Structures are given as structure tokens and as C-alpha cells.
Amino acid sequence: MKRSYSKYSAKDDLLWLILRPWIFIPRVLYILLTFIFLFLRILFQGNSKNKNIQKNLSKYLFDVITDLGPCFIKLGQALSTRPDLVRQDWLTELTNLQDNLPAFDHKIALKIIEEELGSPANELFEEFPDRPIASASLGQVYKAKINNSYLAVKVQRPNLYFLIRRDVVILRFLGTFLSPILPLNIGVGIGEIIDEFGKALFNEIDYQKEAENALKFANLFKENPNIFIPKLEKQFSSKRIITTSWIDGVKLRDRALLEENNLIPASFIKTCVISGLQQLFEFGYFHADPHPGNMFALKGGNSDCGNLAYVDFGMMDTITNSDRLTLIKAIVHIINEEYYLLAEDFQKLGFLTEEQDLQKLVEPLKEVLGGSLGAEVGNFNLKNVTDKFSKLMYSYPFRVPSRFALIIRAVVSQEGLALRLDPEFKILKIAYPYIAKKLLTDNSEEILEILLEVVFDKKGQIQIEKVESLLNILFKDSDNINSDLIPVANAGLKLFVSKKGSEVRKNLLLSLIKDDKLEFTDAKKLLALIRDTFSPMNIAKSAVQNIISTV
């Protein structure tokens, strides 16, 4: 029985390649020599101030990555989203890895279309161009026309399964072999991380799987007016061809280009980050490859939230409900500076072993995260904390669970994309109010449990300072303060009077009893905080703002 090429198996694929030493040995030597020459050139020329030298070096870097093939191009695409890690003159060249790679022969593309769809392209479409409009790591895209509408026809590169199968095996072999001497501490299994990368790539080359992903993703965002997913054209799609409606938009790769088209960069950053948070914390299903070549700014929307289109749904992943809730708890524990509880979250997520003494990590975590996340949430920079955290991971027994490889890739890519549009962007200025609002408006049992942990301590007493901190994060640091007041007030009132709110009511009553006496001090403080936050004047402003935003 023929094995489906969309499945990845580290053991089977390694055996397959080892039994073909005429393929394995030359390729390993070629990759090693290529990286040695690249390293030496960067070592001797990387700090040069000569613009021509840097231009030639960036072109050489692009050529090296392109020559090594799809697996390495995918890794290069991740670098191309990080203006904080890669110098600007190199970044400009690396951006071409997203959708401006050398195209493969047009005749081969036409042959693949005929083999997959059963008829030549000129019979299937009213118009079919003689060259692709974009060429990426796994395929190239043509702008075809049918029934006076334009379609995006993506044709897969030839021999792709063999190339990816070979290089993922070699990457895993080299990664495992070299990990003891690399200045990294990602835990026990760099091979496991590469396995996740391999599984994602093998899924990505199955365009029928991508079509399913696109339909699922579109369904998740069907009620969101700011997110657009192109329509799948099933009759023109197969295992190696995927066809969708054409997107007329501007790629999120350059701030000046957006401004030239009278589009507001900040509005698209917000839509991008909020939709990313929804994918992780609400849907549990996310786009794992959100680089600028896969996201378009569309006309419409408003200055607060721009209209955004996602394309290319080959690399998608899920997050379990347990991990999703633990991540929300971790963010709450960071906000409240509860570092022992945060260490427990890391342990539950698999970043720490069960045997680890968590008390020893309290001070290091405080040193890395303390003070960054309080009143100045808007000034928080994820890159600064990431740098500190990398040192912490090297000094302490942190490890990266393989299931988080694509989550980390997606978050890093998304922040990098935002930094391209706004170098001063702070991801938590949007992320923290989102989490705060979710805690205050989502009445699911799991979220309610987390909210109760914030509002009441283990003895059942009201934690006024934490409630105040939560409201401050939502209303003090939010760019659009008043628009959130009514939804939060409504959700709070509904919760309080609902069946689910019985636990809240019970805890509030118990919090009034201290030493067998009624004590109203904390209750008065809570009422004063609620009165000041949800005053009639603020509610009126919120109502007016909501009316204006819908006009």
C-alpha cells in the first residue's frame, strides 16, 4: 500500500534516507559546507559599514537560503519578520523569501494543472497568464479569470515531497547531533521541535488539507467584519492545486506602502494582534505562518480596526483547551506578580519537569518579569523580556515542549510583523486589555474560575488591589477606553444575577465576615471602585462612542 505523502514519520523517513547514502551523504556535506562559508563571510563582513558590501552580503544570504530549498526558505521567512533581530539592509532582501522567489518553469505548472484538474488551463479559465504573479517556498500563484471574476490559482512546486522529506530528516539529524555544542537550551529534544516543523510542512504540501483549513478558519471568523478569508473554489482545487477568490489588498510588509494607499498602519496592527489572540485563546486553532506575504490590508474598516485578509492556510495548528486556559492563568499571574503560581503554570505546560523545585525560580522570574508589567503595560517590550528569558532558560532547567513550537513561531512572527509597521509597537498594550476584557465578559465555567481567583484570595476575601489592577489594565491602558465600558458592565450584571453567578454572590457574602463579625470595609472599597469606573458619565460616553463607531 502506497504511503500518503502528507504524513510525516521521523523513524520511517530517517530509515528511507539512510538506505540511500548516495542522497544522504552528499546533501549533508553540501549543507554543512554552505553554512560554514556563510558563517565565515558574515564573520568577516558582517560589521562592515560599506553599503555595497552589506548589499552583496544580503543578496548572498538570500541566494544561500533559496538554493538550499523549501525547508530552509521556511526558516528564512521566520527571520524575515524580525526587524529587531536582522539588520534592515538584510531584512529588505529576506522579505523576498515570502513571495518573490524564483519561479519554476511555466510549462511544468501547466502540466501539473492538467494532471490534477483533468483539462488544460486555457480550457478551465477564460484567461490564464503566461507567468505567475507571486512565487513562494512551496508553490507559485497565477491570477486567472472566470465569469468576470479573478481567482488566485496556486500550483505546487514539482518534486516537493522528496525535497522536504530529505531535508527535514537531515535537519533533524544535524540538530540532534550538534545540539550539545550549540549555545541553546531548549530542553531535551531539539529533534521533537524539528518533528513538529516536519509535520507542519507535510500538512502544508497537501492542498486538500489546506482547503479544509481555509473553510474551518473562515467559519471561525464569519461574525468578524474586520477579518476576510478568500472563498475556496473547490472545482479548481486538488492535492497540488488550490484556487480561491482573488484578494485586492496591500501586503502588510511596509508602513510607507500602506500610507501611500491611505491606510492607517496602527489599525491593521490591532486587527492582526486581536485576531491572533482570538485564535489562541478563544478558538484554539491558529494560523501558524502569519508573515506579511500571507496577510493583506483591505479598504474599509476604521481608524481603530482595519480590514484584514488572511491567505495560505497550509500551516495551521491547534492548542488544547487545558493549555489555552493555563496560558490565560499565566498571563493573569504575570499581571498580579504571582511568580510561584506562574512557575506552576510553566510546570503544567511542560516547560518545567515535575521534579523541579519551583521556589528556586521565584526570584529569577521576578527579575525577568517584575516591574515590567505593572502600571506601564503600554511600555512593555516583548523582545527585552525574551532576551532575559533566553538567559533564564540557559541557566535553569526550562525546556520548550514540542507542541509549543508553532505557537511560539506564530507569536514571534506576528510581533515581528507589527514591528515592521511600527518600530515602537508594544504587543501587550493590546494583549493585556484583551485578556482583562475576556476575564470580565466571558461567562464560561473555566474563565469564571480564573476570575474568582483574581477577585478572591484563598480565604475568600476580596482582593481589591487585584480587581483595581484588572480594571486599570482594561480602561487605563486601552486606546479606546469608553467602548469597553458597556460590554463589561452588561456582562458583570448578567453574571451577578445568573445561575453561574451563585459562586460570586456566595464569595461576596463570605468576604463580609471577618472574625465572626460583619466587616464592610473591603465591600465599600469595591463599590467605590465600581462606582468610579462605571459612573453614569462614563457609561454615557461609552454609548455615544459606540453609536459614532457604527455610523
Tell me how far apart the alpha carbons of residues 427 and 280 are, in angstroms, rounded to a whole number. Answer: 15
What is the average per-residue pLDDT within 65-69?
Answer: 91
289 is catalytic: yes
Residue 144 banded pLDDT, cuts 50, 70, 90: very high
Q: What is the pTM of this model?
A: 0.79
Residue 170 banded pLDDT, cuts 50, 70, 90: very high
98: cell is 515570502
Higher-pLDDT residue of 249 and 385 is 249
Q: Is the pLDDT of residue 486 over 60?
A: no
* Mean model confidence pLDDT for the chain: 79
- Which pLDDT score is estimated for 47? 80
Three-state DSSP at 151 gives strand
Residue 293 banded pLDDT, cuts 50, 70, 90: confident
Residue 508 banded pLDDT, cuts 50, 70, 90: low
CB 164 within 8 A of CB 376: no
Q: E-assigned strands of 379-486?
A: none
What is the average per-residue pLDDT within 226-242?
Answer: 94
Q: Is the pLDDT of residue 1 over 70?
A: no
Closest alpha carbon to 400 in 94, 175, 119? 175
pLDDT tens-digit readout, 305-314: 889 999 989 8
Q: Where are the domains of the chain?
A: 10-97, 442-550
pLDDT tens-digit readout, 349-359: 888 888 888 88
| Whole-number percent of the chain with pLDDT over 70 | 72
Q: Is the pLDDT of residue 66 over 60?
A: yes
- Which pLDDT score is estimated for 374? 46
| N-term to C-term CA, the chain | 61
- Which pLDDT score is estimated for 3? 41
What is the average per-residue pLDDT within 11-29?
Answer: 93
Higher-pLDDT residue of 78 and 170 is 170
- Which pLDDT score is estimated for 477? 47
Identify the weakest region by mean pLDDT among 26-30, 121-125, 377-381, 523-527.
Answer: 377-381
Residue 377 banded pLDDT, cuts 50, 70, 90: very low
What is the average per-residue pLDDT within 406-416?
Answer: 78
381: cell is 517590550
What residues contact residue 36 under an 8 Å CB cut-off, 6+ apart? none
Tell me how far apart the alpha carbons of residues 193 and 232 are, in angstroms, rounded to a whole number. Answer: 31
CB 152 within 8 A of CB 245: yes
- Which pLDDT score is estimated for 455? 73
The single residue of 289, 312, 317, 345 carrying the catalytic annotation is 289
Identify the weakest region by mean pLDDT among 84-88, 210-214, 242-246, 264-268.
Answer: 84-88
| Whole-number percent of the chain with pLDDT over 90 | 27
Signed CA dihedral, 468, 448, 534, 373: sign only: positive
Tell me how far apart the alpha carbons of residues 362 and 358 are, in angstroms, rounded to a whole number. Answer: 7
Residue 431 banded pLDDT, cuts 50, 70, 90: confident
pLDDT tens-digit readout, 247-289: 999 888 778 888 888 888 888 888 888 899 899 888 999 998 8
Three-state DSSP at 231 gives coil
